[in-house]
Structure 1
Amino acid sequence: MGKRWTGLVLQSSRWRKAGQVAGFRSSWPIIVVLLGLLSVPQRAAAQQPATADPDAVRVILPMVQVNAIRLDIPPFDLPAALSVVQVAPAAAGQPGVNLSESLVGVPGILARDRQNYAQDVQISIRGFGSRATFGVRSIRLYVDGIPATLPDGQGQVSHFNFDSAERVEILRGPFSVLYGNAAGGVVQLWSAEGTPTPLTTVGMNAGSHDTFRYSIDTRGTWGPVDYNVAGSAFLSGGYRPHSRVRRESDNARFGVDLGGGRKLTLVANRLNQPTSQDALGLTRAQVDVDPRQVAAAALQYDTRKSILQNQLGAIYEQPLGGDDRLRVMGYFGRRGILQYQSIPASVQQSPLSPGGVVALDTDYGGLDARWTHAGQLAGRAYEFVLGVSADGQRQHRRGYNNFIGDTLGISGALRRNEDDNVDSLDEYAQWYWQLAERWSLLLGVRHDEVRFRARDHYVTAFNPDDSGGVDYTATTPVAGLGFRPSENLRLYASYGKGFETPSFNELGYRSDGLPGLAFDLRPARSRNLELGAKWRVTRELSFDAAAFRADTRDELAVMTSESGRSTYQNVGRTRRQGIELSLTGQLADGWQVSAAFTRLQARFRQAFLACRARPCTMVDMPVAAGTGMPGVPGNYGSLRLRHGDEFGWHEGLDLTGVGAVSVNDTGTERAAGYGVIGVDVGYNFALGKDTRLLLSARVDNLGDRRYVGSVIVNDSNGRYFEPGAGRSFMLGARLVFR
Structure 2
Amino acid sequence: MSLSHLSSLNSTHPARLAPVAWAIALMCAAGAQAQSVPASAAEADTDAGALSPVVVVSAQRSSGGVWRGAASVDVVGGDELREGQAQINLSEGLGRVPGLVIRNRQNYAQDLQISVRGYGARATFGVRGVRLFVDGIPASAPDGSGQAANFPLGSADRIEVVRGPMAALYGASSGGALLLYTEDGQQPAQWRTGVVAGSDGLWRASTQLTGQTGTKQAPGWSYALDVSGFATDGTRPQSEADRNTANMKLSRSHEGGRTVLVFNRHSSSALDPQGLDRAAFDDNPDQTNAGALTFNTRKTVSQTQLGLAFEQALGNGHKLELMGYGGQRQVVQFQSIPPGAQTPPRSSGAVIDLDRDYWGWNARWRHEGEWQGGRLALSAGLASDHQSDKRKGYENFVGSTLGVQGKLRRDEVNRAQTLDPYVQAEWRTQDLTLMGGVRQARTEYESSDRYIVGANGDDSGSKSFKGTLPVVGVRWQWSPTVQAFASIGKGYEIPTLNEVAYPSGGVSGFNTELIAARSTSAELGMRGRADKLRWSATAFDIRTDDEIVVQNNTGGRTTFQNAGRTLRQGLELAGEWRIGDLTLTSAYTWMDANYRDAFKTCVQTLCPNVNPQVEVPAGNRMPGLPKQQLFAQAAWDTGWLGSRVTLEARHVGSVMVNDLNTDAAAAHTVFNLGVQFEQERGDWTLKEFVRVDNLTDRQHVGSVIVNDGNKRFFEPGPGRKLLLGLEAQRRF
TM-score for both structures, normalised by structure 2? 0.91
Secondary structure at the aligned position of 1:506 is classed as coil
Distance apart, 1:29 and its partner CA: 13
Aligned ranges 1:36-115 → 2 under 5 Å: 64-65=46-47, 68-71=56-59, 72-73=62-63, 74-88=65-79, 92-115=83-106
Q: Does 1:456 align with 2:452?
A: no
Distance apart, 1:449 and its partner CA: 1.2
Taking the aligned partners of 1:379 and 1:305, their CA distance within structure 2 comes to: 58
Partner of 1:638: 631
Distance 1:90 1:428, change over 3 A: closer
The residue type equivalent to 1:79 in the other structure is: A
Secondary structure at the aligned position of 2:643 is classed as strand
Query: What is the root-mean-square deviation of aligned Cα atoms in Å?
Result: 2.7
Taking the aligned partners of 1:148 and 1:350, their CA distance within structure 2 comes to: 35
Residues 410-450 of structure 1, C-alpha deviations (whole Å, 9 max, x = no match): 0011110000000110000001123x763321111111110
Distance 1:615 1:539, change over 3 A: farther
Aligned ranges 1:504-519 → 2 under 5 Å: 504-519=497-512
Taking the aligned partners of 1:76 and 1:89, their CA distance within structure 2 comes to: 19
Partner of 2:285: 291
User: Pick from 531, 536, 547: which aligns with 1:544?
Assistant: 536
Distance apart, 1:34 and its partner CA: 11
Q: Which runs of 5+ in 2 are unaligned?
A: 1-14, 49-54, 215-219
Distance 1:253 1:386, change over 3 A: same
Work out whether residues 297 and 334 of structure 2, in 8 Å CA contact, stay in contact via their aligned partners in 1: yes
Work out whether residues 89 and 96 of structure 1, in 8 Å CA contact, stay in contact via their aligned partners in 2: no
The residue type equivalent to 2:706 in the other structure is: V
Partner of 2:187: 196
Work out whether residues 575 and 602 of structure 1, in 8 Å CA contact, stay in contact via their aligned partners in 2: yes
Which of the pair is proportionally richer in helix? 2
Taking the aligned partners of 1:490 and 1:32, their CA distance within structure 2 comes to: 19
Distance 1:563 1:346, change over 3 A: same
Partner of 1:579: 571
Distance 1:735 1:580, change over 3 A: same
Work out whether residues 46 and 58 of structure 2, in 8 Å CA contact, stay in contact via their aligned partners in 1: no
User: Pick from 689, 692, 701: which aligns with 2:694?
Assistant: 701
Distance apart, 1:69 and its partner CA: 3.1
Q: Does 1:416 align with 2:404?
A: no
Secondary structure at the aligned position of 1:507 is classed as coil
Partner of 1:218: 209
Distance apart, 1:222 and its partner CA: 1.1
Taking the aligned partners of 2:181 and 2:82, their CA distance within structure 1 comes to: 18
Work out whether residues 23 and 537 of structure 2, in 8 Å CA contact, stay in contact via their aligned partners in 1: no
Distance 1:421 1:414, change over 3 A: same
Q: Does 1:473 align with 2:466?
A: yes
The residue type equivalent to 1:453 in the other structure is: E
Work out whether residues 81 and 153 of structure 2, in 8 Å CA contact, stay in contact via their aligned partners in 1: no
Taking the aligned partners of 1:400 and 1:321, their CA distance within structure 2 comes to: 58
Distance 1:209 1:256, change over 3 A: same
Partner of 1:589: 580
The residue type equivalent to 1:650 in the other structure is: R
Partner of 1:228: 224
Taking the aligned partners of 1:692 and 1:567, their CA distance within structure 2 comes to: 54
Distance apart, 1:31 and its partner CA: 13
Work out whether residues 256 and 312 of structure 2, in 8 Å CA contact, stay in contact via their aligned partners in 1: yes
Work out whether residues 166 and 471 of structure 2, in 8 Å CA contact, stay in contact via their aligned partners in 1: yes
Partner of 2:261: 266
The residue type equivalent to 1:699 in the other structure is: V
Partner of 1:560: 552
Taking the aligned partners of 1:245 and 1:29, their CA distance within structure 2 comes to: 42
Secondary structure at the aligned position of 2:631 is classed as strand
Q: Does 1:351 align with 2:339?
A: no
Partner of 1:499: 492
Distance apart, 1:390 and its partner CA: 1.0
Taking the aligned partners of 1:376 and 1:34, their CA distance within structure 2 comes to: 37
User: Pick from 654, 673, 681: which aligns with 2:675?
Assistant: 681
Residues 194-246 of structure 1, C-alpha deviations (whole Å, 9 max, x = no match): 13111111111111001111111111111211111111110000001100001
Secondary structure at the aligned position of 1:88 is classed as helix
Taking the aligned partners of 1:47 and 1:209, their CA distance within structure 2 comes to: 46
Taking the aligned partners of 2:550 and 2:242, their CA distance within structure 1 comes to: 32
Secondary structure at the aligned position of 2:505 is classed as coil
> What is the number of equivalent residue pairs in this alignment?
699
Distance 1:726 1:40, change over 3 A: farther
Taking the aligned partners of 2:27 and 2:395, their CA distance within structure 1 comes to: 56
Distance apart, 1:489 and its partner CA: 1.4
User: Pick from 574, 597, 606: which aligns with 2:597?
Assistant: 606
Distance 1:33 1:702, change over 3 A: farther
Distance 1:27 1:411, change over 3 A: farther
Partner of 1:21: none
Work out whether residues 30 and 657 of structure 1, in 8 Å CA contact, stay in contact via their aligned partners in 2: no
The residue type equivalent to 1:256 in the other structure is: R
Distance 1:46 1:270, change over 3 A: farther
Work out whether residues 211 and 237 of structure 1, in 8 Å CA contact, stay in contact via their aligned partners in 2: yes
Taking the aligned partners of 2:225 and 2:454, their CA distance within structure 1 comes to: 54
Taking the aligned partners of 1:606 and 1:265, their CA distance within structure 2 comes to: 49
Distance apart, 1:456 and its partner CA: 0.7
Work out whether residues 111 and 126 of structure 2, in 8 Å CA contact, stay in contact via their aligned partners in 1: yes
Taking the aligned partners of 1:206 and 1:32, their CA distance within structure 2 comes to: 43
Taking the aligned partners of 1:204 and 1:725, their CA distance within structure 2 comes to: 21
Taking the aligned partners of 1:269 and 1:630, their CA distance within structure 2 comes to: 35
Distance 1:30 1:478, change over 3 A: closer
> Mean Cα displacement is larger for which, 488-497 or 281-290?
488-497
Taking the aligned partners of 1:725 and 1:27, their CA distance within structure 2 comes to: 31
> Mean Cα displacement is larger for which, 404-413 or 502-511?
502-511
The residue type equivalent to 1:479 in the other structure is: V
Taking the aligned partners of 2:44 and 2:27, their CA distance within structure 1 comes to: 26
Distance apart, 1:125 and its partner CA: 0.4
> Mean Cα displacement is larger for which, 455-464 or 547-556?
455-464
Q: Percent identity?
A: 39
Work out whether residues 570 and 591 of structure 2, in 8 Å CA contact, stay in contact via their aligned partners in 1: yes
Aligned ranges 1:358-369 → 2 under 5 Å: 358-369=352-363
Q: Does 1:723 align with 2:711?
A: no
Distance 1:450 1:170, change over 3 A: same
Residues 154-196 of structure 1, C-alpha deviations (whole Å, 9 max, x = no match): 0110100111101111010001001111110011011111131
Partner of 1:18: none
Residues 295-330 of structure 1, C-alpha deviations (whole Å, 9 max, x = no match): 011011111100001111111011011110111010
Q: RCO higher in 1 or 2 (8 Å CA, sep ≥ 6)?
A: 1
Secondary structure at the aligned position of 1:372 is classed as strand
Taking the aligned partners of 1:417 and 1:488, their CA distance within structure 2 comes to: 60
Residues 22-42 of structure 1, C-alpha deviations (whole Å, 9 max, x = no match): xxxx99999999999998799
Q: Does 1:490 align with 2:490?
A: no
Distance apart, 1:382 and its partner CA: 1.2
Taking the aligned partners of 1:29 and 1:220, their CA distance within structure 2 comes to: 51
Partner of 2:517: 524
Secondary structure at the aligned position of 2:504 is classed as coil
The residue type equivalent to 1:262 in the other structure is: G
Work out whether residues 227 and 245 of structure 2, in 8 Å CA contact, stay in contact via their aligned partners in 1: yes
Work out whether residues 615 and 717 of structure 1, in 8 Å CA contact, stay in contact via their aligned partners in 2: no
Q: Does 1:403 align with 2:394?
A: no
Work out whether residues 45 and 588 of structure 1, in 8 Å CA contact, stay in contact via their aligned partners in 2: no
